[in-house]
Amino acid sequence: MKFSVINLGCRSNYFDGELLAQKLTEKGYTRVQEQADIYIINTCTVTSEADRSSRQFIYRAKRENPKAIVVATGCYAQTNPQALARLKEVDLVVGNSHKDRLVEILEDYLQGRGERVFVDNIFKDSQVKNFDLVVFFERVRPFIKVQEGCNNFCTFCVIPYARGKLRSVPMEKVLEQVKSLAERGFKEVVLTGTQLTQYGWDLNTNLYQLLLELLRIKDIELFRLSSLYPSEIDQKLLDLITQEERIAPHFHLSLQSGSNRILRLMERDYTVEDYTKLVETIVQRRPISAIGTDIIVGFPTETEEDFEETYKLVQNLPFAYLHVFSYSDRPYTKASKMFPKVEERIKKERVRLLKALDQRKREEFKGSMKGKTLRAIILEEGRALTENYIHLEDEDFKDVGAIVSVVL
């Protein structure tokens, strides 16, 4: 039988989707891009727009082949399984709690056995499952998921309810994987997870210790880190990432709001002043650093003054890029019960203003690097990515997978 896996949302979903695809292929199923007999929609639920997008892919799959089996899995399936089960286009709902058993569940269903909905308490999970296979390849860059879940419960975020509590991959497993990747000739490795800065808290270690051990693997020329939580970067970790040249000078530090009042309501345990000092320290120590961030617009009770504080802060800080999101109520979260809500038309206008600022920030950052020599990994012929996350195109980029020096 032919199957298709459609991954939506974050990197974690892509890891999970590739794992499912590998398991199905090993069982004799054939992965296709066109019309399939089985569609696995790996859903996202970080915003209401993500829910809507997940449903659209479900509808599209059933239109492509009305006789196909459509399986909804992922975070939307975990947090609101009944909503998906009510859709006539959905045959099976498999939450993240059962995702490691999805192939078995699917085969039971094909043989006329089993239920239609498989979801359990995600907080029961105590370890990252099937780590040996959890490597996602973006062309020549392997992404390694070293932890899953999050112990923070920010008032707007549904992810702990979708992904569960913190579970870290044992350090020896991570080192084994990276050594294997080095032997295969990869030059850059990206470390990622739901909340990367919480790595090792459940194993009596931490991200700093993991990085020290990884840096002993000399054949990997560049280690890139995914999103970092500002207040979880302690002094030792800060010193390491700003002094070690083999750690890419590219740091995604989620701000969410430039208003201290809103940050308190979000239950983010840092202030605007804390965040500003962190960014300024990183850029002072490593001037070529790209700092990216996330901003949520229209959090409940956000006033024009709150938004202006956010806009001015973003305008003044040396960001390389922004990810801008419009707030939407998520199940289980405290913020969903906060009032008053911000009107949709106001949220749209604030998003528009920040996205315009984002475009200017990207251009300014790239312009500030003009004349500088940077390392870059060649992603494919004619395309490369610098250590500080600038995409380049040049017909001279031919040695795919190599890290080269470029002058902007």
* 3-state SS track over 340-377: CCCCHHHHHHHHHHHHHHHHHHHHHHHHHCCCCEEEEE
Q: How far apart are CA 362 and CA 314, in angstroms?
A: 12
pLDDT at 134: 56
Please state, in angstroms and rounded to a whole number, the distance separating the CA atoms of residues 172 and 350: 46
- Residue 198 corresponds to which tokens in the numbers above? 């919480």
How much is the pLDDT for 131?
42
Question: So what's the pLDDT on residue 226?
Answer: 94
All domains of the chain in start order, with CATH:
2-120 (3.40.50.12160), 124-248 (3.30.750.210), 373-407 (no CATH)
pTM equals 0.92
How do strand 373-380 and strand 383-386 relate by DSSP bridges? antiparallel
- Answer yes or no: are the C-beta atoms of 35 and 17 closer than 8 Å: no
The tokens of 134 are what? 């959890």
Are the C-beta atoms of 38 and 20 separated by less than 8 Å? Answer: no
Written as one letter, the residue type at 360 is R
How is residue 165 written in tokens?
């509590």
- Spell out the per-residue pLDDT of the chain, length 408, in tens: 999 999 999 888 888 898 899 899 999 999 999 899 999 999 999 999 999 999 999 999 999 999 999 999 999 999 999 999 999 999 999 999 999 999 999 999 999 988 999 999 988 876 665 444 457 777 899 999 999 999 999 999 999 999 999 999 999 999 999 999 999 999 999 999 999 999 999 999 999 999 999 999 999 999 999 999 999 999 999 999 999 999 999 999 999 999 999 999 999 999 999 999 999 999 999 999 999 999 999 999 999 999 999 999 999 999 999 999 999 999 999 999 999 999 999 999 999 999 999 999 999 999 999 999 999 999 999 999 999 999 999 999 999 999 999 999
CB-count exposure of residue 396 (10 Å: 0-12, 13-18, 19+): exposed
Over the range 190-208, which residues count as b (16 or more CB within 10 Å of their CB) and which as e?
bbbbbbbbbbbbbbeebbb
Residue 127 φ then ψ, to 5°: -155, 160
Q: What is the pLDDT of residue 126?
A: 66
Q: What pLDDT does residue 15 have?
A: 85
DSSP 183: H
Question: Looking at residue 16, what is its pLDDT?
Answer: 87
Give me 252's structure tokens.
């995604």
Cis peptide before 340 (omega within 30 of 0): yes
- Residue 125: predicted pLDDT: 73
Other C-beta atoms within 10 Å of 329: how many?
Answer: 15
List the structure tokens of 184. 């295969």
Closest among 18, 15, 5, 29 to 110, alpha carbons compared: 29
| Phi/psi of residue 91, nearest 5 degrees | -95, -40
Scan for tokens 């500003």, then name that residue: 276
Please check whether residue 8 is in contact with residue 54, taking contact to mean a CB–CB distance below 8 angstroms. Answer: yes
H-helix segments, 165-228: 171-183, 207-214
- Tell me the torsion sign for CA atoms 155, 72, 74, 124: positive
Task: Spell 122-132 as b/e; 16+ CB within 10 A means b.
Answer: beebeebeebe
Greatest distance between any 2 Cα atoms in the chain: 65
- Specify whether the CB–CB gap between 43 and 9 falls below 8 A: yes
Of the CA atoms within 13 Å of residue 92, those in its CB half-sphere come to 30
Q: Are 180 and 137 in contact (CB under 8 A)?
A: no
Predicted local confidence at residue 133, as pLDDT: 40
